[in-house]
Amino acid sequence: MTPRFYVTTPIYYVNGAPHIGHAYTSIAADVVARFYRLSGYGVFFLTGTDEHGQKVEQAAKNAGVTPGVFADNVSADFRHMADSMNISYDAFIRTTEPRHITSAQNLWRKVAENGAIYLGAYEGWYSVRDECFYSEDELITTEEGKKCAPTGAPVEWVKEPSYFFKLSAFQEPLLELYERNPDFLGPHGVRNEIISFVKQGLRDLSISRTSFQWGIPVPDDEHHVMYVWFDALTNYLSALGYPDETAPLMVYWPAALHLVGKDIARFHAVYWPAFLMAAGIELPHKIFANGWWTVEGQKMSKSLGNVVNPRDLLQEFSLDSIRFFLLREVPFGGDSDLSRKALITRNNVELANDLGNLAQRTLSLVARYCDGVVPEKGEQTEDDIKLLGQVHVLPDVLALQFKRCALTDALEEVWKVIRASNVYIARQEPWTLRKTDPIRMASVLRVLLEALRGIATVLQPFMPETMARLLDQLGVSDDERLFSALNTPIPTGRSLPAPQGIFPRYPEE
């Protein structure tokens, strides 16, 4: 049976325009989805938009339109962003869709039937920007002496009737879950933070609101709408057809991986598994949190006017240079800074020089001195065997890195092989062999073609468009691009198209 892999991005709030921070989580999830497809898994990849709640209601009001119209527009912007970033999602869910509303109400009913929901009254702090309840001791005081959320977001005092979820009852089961499955939550820093948050004691969670309307009605109580996080988290099930257990896509549950930003790890690693346990539904296998991007050293914010729209970045840089930069610049899970200088340097050094030159040199030698056809494999030297051995194990080496969401380490493993190939070409000097030993030259070029083919194949998830072009130039047909195809060499004698540079070089500042 084909193994399955269900991967999700967070669903994005439609209160404002998409920016590069949103694109980041989606690109990372896309790399994961593509990696598992190429490894032979049946993948289902979900993204979408989170459209209810007070924050969206307020944004619509400020724009002078109904929340429905507002959500339609911004949701379409997020879909365009996903398309322009080459995000290979299988489904795009919107929480205003009837299928999702039914699903969230069903989950609520299930949790209520199992006795984990009760009616009470909430009195305490709420941050609309974070859509999060905070306890007094979590708040910080600003320089002006105002209380605000630990994220810096404003908070307001809320007092209203509310349904509560018995989160306190799940403290021990959650701690057991983290303990029993050390891989359930990553990276380490986030895992430790969440464990200590849960150890401090969990209070029951308010899961409905009465002071505004833009939300999913609580079943059998029209005065309440669901707390937006109860609604939003359910999207991961709605998209598969929940509550219909026989829906064809339900075979993808439990999710293999929820990729999220570190700011929303708590909702995914504490609330979500608790809701699922309460409903008697299997838990996702892994939650992994990515870090936060600043821009030229500053936090992105509307007031600073430095919010980077991926569309603007695409005016100047190729999509694959951006995708590569975002995953290469910082170990996945850590925070980093997006600067033009760093983007240009990464591109010029690692793509244009390391990989681009290797490809260009090899392919133009084959074009010129092997009549543009894949040359024969001659007798193998120790150097040949060593390099091809490194290439051969790449899919397995990467599989280990992907298993722990170490996307940057995976790239580093590929770069080791690229650097080794550059050392190889410099040592073998095929341009000199042309005169002294043309048979050996052909053999060396053949080794380099195989190495490039392996490198391009495993880099497809990161740079799909560019690697497709490189594989075209290497004479690898569309049906030879799965990782498993690497076990079959490129047929000798296959003719290759005229080589063309694949990576643009950007002028240094």
Q: Which residues are at the interface with ligand MSP (CB under 6 A)?
A: 10-13, 21-22, 24-25, 50, 232-233, 235, 260-261, 263-264, 292-293, 300
Quick one: how far is CA 45 from the chain centroid? 10
Nearer to ligand MSP, 130 or 413 (CB): 130
Bridge partners for 295 per DSSP: 298, 338
Nearer to ligand MSP, 260 or 388 (CB): 260
| Closest separation in Å from C-beta 67 to ligand MSP | 15
| Closest separation in Å from C-beta 436 to ligand MSP | 54
- Print burial letters for 273-303: b (CB count within 10 Å at least 16), e (below 16): bbbbbbbebebbebbbbbbbbebeeeebeee
Determine the residue type at 207: I
Nearer to ligand MSP, 263 or 354 (CB): 263
Tell me if 18 sits within 8 A of 55, measured CB to CB.
no
CA–CA distance, 396 with 228 (Å, rounded to integer): 41
| Closest separation in Å from C-beta 147 to ligand MSP | 22
Coil, helix or strand at residue 251: helix
Q: How does strand 217-218 pair with strand 208-209? A: unpaired
CA–CA distance, 336 with 307 (Å, rounded to integer): 15
Nearest to 421 by CA among 475, 486, 353, 374: 353
Nearest to 39 by CA among 488, 486, 489, 491: 486
**Which tokens hold the place of 319?**
């999509």
| Closest separation in Å from C-beta 377 to ligand MSP | 46
| Closest separation in Å from C-beta 9 to ligand MSP | 8
Coil, helix or strand at residue 11: coil
Nearer to ligand MSP, 246 or 303 (CB): 303
Q: How does strand 205-206 pair with strand 140-141? A: unpaired
| Closest separation in Å from C-beta 238 to ligand MSP | 11
**Which tokens hold the place of 496?**
């290759």
Q: How crowded is residue 509: how many other Cβ atoms within 10 Å of its Cβ? A: 8
Nearer to ligand MSP, 256 or 391 (CB): 256
Tell me if 13 sits within 8 A of 132, measured CB to CB.
no
**Which tokens hold the place of 482?**
């799965």
| Closest separation in Å from C-beta 304 to ligand MSP | 12
Q: How crowded is residue 426: how many other Cβ atoms within 10 Å of its Cβ? A: 9
| Closest separation in Å from C-beta 226 to ligand MSP | 13
Nearer to ligand MSP, 304 or 423 (CB): 304
Q: How crowded is residue 80: how many other Cβ atoms within 10 Å of its Cβ? A: 13
| Closest separation in Å from C-beta 363 to ligand MSP | 37
Q: List strand residue ranges (DSSP E) for 9-109, in order.
A: 12-13, 42-50, 91-94
Nearer to ligand MSP, 67 or 261 (CB): 261
| Closest separation in Å from C-beta 49 to ligand MSP | 8
Quick check: bond before 154 cis, omega within 30? no
Cα radius of gyration rounded to whole Å, the chain: 26
- The residue at minimum Cβ distance from ligand MSP is 261
Quick check: bond before 254 cis, omega within 30? yes
Nearer to ligand MSP, 11 or 319 (CB): 11
Nearer to ligand MSP, 238 or 428 (CB): 238
Tokens 């991005």 locate to 9
Nearer to ligand MSP, 77 or 480 (CB): 77
Nearer to ligand MSP, 11 or 32 (CB): 11
| Closest separation in Å from C-beta 260 to ligand MSP | 5
Nearer to ligand MSP, 205 or 387 (CB): 205
Q: What sign results for the dihedral spanned by CA atoms 242, 246, 251, 254?
A: positive
Tell me if 441 sits within 8 A of 384, measured CB to CB.
no
| Closest separation in Å from C-beta 262 to ligand MSP | 7
What's the CA dihedral at 115, 121, 127, 130 to 10 degrees?
A: 10
